[in-house]
A and B are shown apart, each in its own frame.
Chain A
Amino acid sequence: SQTIHQWPATLVQPVGSPLSLECTVEGTSNPNLYWYRQAAGRGLQLLFYSVGIGQISSEVPQNLSASRPQDRQFILSSKKLLLSDSGFYLCAWSAARTATFFGQGTRLTVV
């Protein structure tokens, strides 16, 4: 069966520091991969998606970037965090339009 791993679960980082969140999927090949952000009272916002290695699409202009160095690995990064980057970040995968599966999320607090 397929599983998705996302880490760390919580992170407190100072303003201006770098960020790296990692997500890996097991049990499937060539999944679509996604990064969503959830801010209080604002629902879920799609940040990036990838349909293959090295293929990244960005949905909103921002201080973040994403990379997909391997088929089942998706990384969210920032060179310098802003206060506004705080939120709950969710990695997800899908293999078809019929279902998308989410990781457990990372709570990022920028101080």
Chain B
Amino acid sequence: AQSVTQLGSHVSVSEGALVLLRCNYSSSVPPYLFWYVQYPNQGLQLLLKYTSAATLVKGINGFEAEFKKSETSFHLTKPSAHMSDAAEYFCAVSDDSGAGSYQLTFGKGTKLSVIP
């Protein structure tokens, strides 16, 4: 069974400050890892993904994440927060059950607030 832990249900940063959202995973197979962003009352938008290629992954809106196998981590960062980054962020790991269903297991989410 796979699982995802996001440390911190709420994170506040000042506009222009570094954003760091933490994600640790457990997986019995080489993981595929994802970060999604959700704005209020909207669906989830894919920010970036790790699929066993480069360990440093760049995504949309200036976000990036680094896969560290030794630490079982996939933390999300952005050098300078913008007011529009305020949203909820979900880390997820993809399961390959062998039946081709590719289910996602999500962390509980981290709500990011950006202070002007």
A residues with CB within 8 A of B: 6, 32, 34, 41-44, 46, 49, 51, 57, 59, 88, 90, 92, 94, 96-105, 107
The residue in chain B whose Cβ has the minimal distance to the Cβ of A44 is B106
**A49-B101 contact given A43-B106, A98-B32, A99-B49, CB 8 Å threshold:** yes
Q: How large, as a class, is the contact surface on chain B?
A: 20 to 34
Distance (whole angstroms) from the CB of A49 to the closest CB of chain B: 5
**A46-B49 contact given A102-B43, A103-B43, A105-B41, CB 8 Å threshold:** no
New contact pairs (8) apart from A94-B102, A100-B34, CB-CB < 8 Å: A32-B101, A34-B104, A42-B108, A43-B106, A44-B44, A49-B101, A92-B44, A100-B104
A-B contact pairs, 26 of them (CB 8 A): A6-B43, A32-B100, A32-B101, A43-B108, A46-B103, A46-B104, A46-B105, A49-B101, A51-B100, A59-B103, A88-B41, A92-B104, A94-B102, A96-B102, A97-B32, A97-B51, A97-B94, A97-B96, A98-B49, A100-B34, A100-B94, A100-B104, A101-B46, A102-B43, A102-B45, A105-B42
Give the distance in Å from the alpha carbon of A32 to the alpha carbon of B96 in the complex.
Answer: 12
Give the distance in Å from the alpha carbon of A51 to the alpha carbon of B97 in the complex.
Answer: 12
- Partner of B109 from the list A32, A43, A103 (CB cut-off 8 Å) is A43
The residue in chain A whose Cβ has the minimal distance to the Cβ of B100 is A51
Distance (whole angstroms) from the CB of B72 to the closest CB of chain A: 19
Q: Which residues of B contact A6 (CB under 8 A)?
A: 43
Q: Which residues of A contact B104 (CB under 8 A)?
A: 34, 44, 46, 92, 100
Would you call A51 and B99 a contact (CB within 8 A)? yes
Give the distance in Å from the alpha carbon of A102 to the alpha carbon of B46 in the complex.
Answer: 9
The residue in chain B whose Cβ has the minimal distance to the Cβ of A100 is B104
Per-residue contact bits, chain B 76-116, to A (CB 8 Å; 1 contact, 0 not): 00000000000000100010100111111111110000000
Would you call B49 and A43 a contact (CB within 8 A)? no
Distance (whole angstroms) from the CB of A55 to the closest CB of chain B: 9
Q: Which residues of B contact A102 (CB under 8 A)?
A: 36, 43-45
Would you call B109 and A98 a contact (CB within 8 A)? no
- Partner of A107 from the list B34, B41, B107 (CB cut-off 8 Å) is B41
